[in-house]
Chain A
Amino acid sequence: MFGKGLAKGLGITFRHMFDKKITEFYPEDMPTLPPRTRSSLALNTPKCISCGMCSSACPNKVITLTTDKNESNKKFLTSYHMDLTRCLFCGLCTEACPTKALYTTTEFENAVYFREDMQWDMMQRYRDKVASGEIKEEVKPETKQEEAKDNG
């Protein structure tokens, strides 16, 4: 019948009026992103073995890290810097990380007012996270052994 499609269209829009709305009220209700979202990077400093595989895996040379050796000839991190202006959040660095010290997070509010704020000091960010209670500081197994030695 002529005009059937018009009535059908009107019916669809009318039904949609009472459907559940899909609008997200973003600042009030934070969206729950899928767990594998690669929207931010974080470093779990104690787990890092300073191998530098993340910086070699990075296609854009985002990561620069400096290391030093302690008295037992073991490498440890002295600085871990990421230049977020070049990062494309591909996650190759986290895949390269042998100890999963570097990982992606679902935090997405990375917009900043100043270009300098996109230079991330990952060790400082880790300390801030521990200080704010967002993550618990992991105690290195070696440290435990050393403590045990000292005690025993």
Chain B
Amino acid sequence: MPQYGSGLFVSIAHLIRGLFGGTTVTADVVMTVINSLIIWALIALAALSLILLERKVAGWMQLRTGPNRLGPRGWFQTVADAMKLLGKEDIFPAAADKWVFGLAPMFVIGLSVMVMAVIPYGKGMVPVDLNVGIFYLLAVSALTTIPFFMAGWGSNNKFALLGGMRAVAQMISYEIPLVFSLLGVVMITQTFKMSAIVNAQSHVWFILLQPLGFVVYTIAATAETNRAPFDLVEGESELTAGAFTEYTGMRWALFFLGEYANLFIVSAVAATVFLGGWQGPFLPGWIWFAIKVLFMVFLFLWFRWTFPRLRVDQLMHFGWKVLLPLSVANILLTGVGIYIYQLIYPAIGG
């Protein structure tokens, strides 16, 4: 049962539910179908616009203008690129493991859809408001490692396999600081529920209470999405395109789509957990959410077009010897902080 708020989309959802009798099973099924369609559309839209944004920002930072040919100021460039990818031949390498190779891109995009179902896009706009929201989100997004390795193994190609191995090593190493950095917030709010975490930030955003957590999360998320300076997984100078080397056409596009969906997801989680989610004055909640997500996305783009790539040993060193102790220290500090806070205000906290 979604909560009924005052937003436009919530009213529409309420209206559609009303058509099918409010709380009946039919209404629930219809709403689930509509929600999942919206999430698919959101992924496609996010990927198209984020790829364009990435190319534009990259251009601006390098004193270029970025794509500028198709449509006003080149805004339709990614649409044309998507059309091109749809029309390309779907090649299976002769030595590839057909099933593993073919399923990997679908798993990537499927996991992204599963994760996006629990993100609160606005007040009362959570497609599925799970009690274990953030736990589920981390668990499912951690699975993204597997399709990468499937792609690397299934391709039967040395570059792809190396890329897949690196993906596993990197994503598992950085999963730990990522989870620990979010743990501080969970300790404060005493809940895994995404909407409750947003509600807890009505007075103060958790970026102010958890600055270290936010920094660790941002760095770990950059590594988790395989973006520069942690893009060793597909370091083109070493591995051509890593696990994607053998992919063509739509299968490759699905990986690309998943990559940008993941960028959207980590930005959305940062916005939800640290930047107050849809909370904000004057504007409707979903606009605030969009603004915060865009800010986080810009931050990741900014990193990508500023920092050079790390070496593999530096990456592992940084993950295990710097980020992990920092995230553990953050948990310790948060615990001590909560304890002191409870001594002062015994009524608050658990």
Contacts and interface: CB of A to CB of B under 8 A. Distances in A.
Interface in B132-177: none
A13 B61 contact: yes
B25 interface: no
Contact of B60 (A12, A16, A25): A16
A94 to B, nearest CB: 36
B209 to A, nearest CB: 22
A21 B61 CA distance: 9
A16 B62 contact: yes
Contacts of B306: 6, 9-10, 12-13
A1 interface: no
B68 to A, nearest CB: 7
A138 to B, nearest CB: 42
Contacts of A13: 61, 302, 305-306
Interface string B275-316: 000000000000000000000000000110111000000000
A16 to B, nearest CB: 5
Interface centre among A9, A13, A22, A25 (most CB of B within 10 A): A13
Contacts of B302: 10, 13-14
B306 to A, nearest CB: 4
Nearest to B64: A23
Contact of A19 (B63, B68, B303): B63
Contacts of A112: none
Contacts of B26: none
A10 B61 CA distance: 10
A9 B68 CA distance: 27
A30 interface: no
A111 interface: no
B57 interface: yes
Nearest to A21: B65
Contact of A23 (B61, B65, B307): B65
Interface string A50-84: 00000000000000000000000000000000000
Contacts of A9: 306-307
Interface string A1-41: 00000100110111011111111010000000000000000
Given A13-B302, A14-B302, A22 B60 contact: no
Interface in B39-67: 57, 59-65
B65 to A, nearest CB: 5
A22 B66 CA distance: 11
Contacts of A14: 61, 302
A12 B62 CA distance: 10
Contacts of B57: 17
Given A10-B302, A23-B65, A17 B60 contact: yes
Interface of A: 6, 9-10, 12-14, 16-23, 25
8 contacts: A10-B306, A12-B306, A16-B60, A16-B61, A17-B60, A18-B60, A23-B63, A25-B68
Given A21-B63, A22-B63, A22-B64, 6 more contacts: A10-B302, A10-B303, A13-B305, A13-B306, A20-B63, A23-B68
Per CB-CB distance, the 6 closest pairs between chain A and chain B, nearest first, are A17-B60, A13-B306, A13-B61, A23-B65, A9-B306, A21-B65
